Amino acid sequence: MNNCENLRELILTDYLDGEADDKARAAVDAHLLQCADCRSLLKEAQEGFVMPLETVAREAVPAEIWISLQDRISARTSWAERLREFFGHMAGEFSYVKLVPVLGMAAVMLLTGPVILQNSRTIQAKEKAQQEYLVGLLASSGNSSEAASDAAANPIEEYFL
């Protein structure tokens, strides 16, 4: 079968890059299932070409950052100096004036948070009590006749209004 010749270019280009469309990908997948030669070709291509590129890309950036970090760390002598630098930097970036509204908001939320929570719990409890009252009324009046239901509606309305 001449299929290998036709598919190899595709395997080594778009299929390898993950850019083959669904139809081409399906054709290659189907061929790879039955062709050990093309499987090993793909494996070699992945190991020889794609993986080294990915490894380089993954390691290049951290190495760069690490070297520049090492330079900066070794340039300083003590932790105190580093801390002073850090907080000096912080003070420069976020001035105290900018922090005041933020701290104010945080304080307000801390103070009102529990109150709001407490209120919502009270409301929930009240709603639960109302529901239980309603259920109790309906249960005691019974659903045997229309007249009984109408009679039960009046105390319910009185309770809520």
Interface residue list for Zn ion (CB under 5 A): 4, 35, 37-38
Closest distance of CB 6 from Zn ion, Å: 9
Closer CB to Zn ion, residue 33 or residue 73? 33
Q: Phi and psi for 78 in degrees, rounded to 5? A: -130, 160
- Let me know: does 38 contact 32? Beta carbons within 8 Å: yes
List all residues 6 or more positions away from 76 whose beta carbon is below 8 Å from its beta carbon. 82, 85
Closer CB to Zn ion, residue 13 or residue 95? 13
Rounded CA-CA distance 42/37 in Å is 9
Closest distance of CB 4 from Zn ion, Å: 3
Closest distance of CB 18 from Zn ion, Å: 20
Closer CB to Zn ion, residue 37 or residue 85? 37
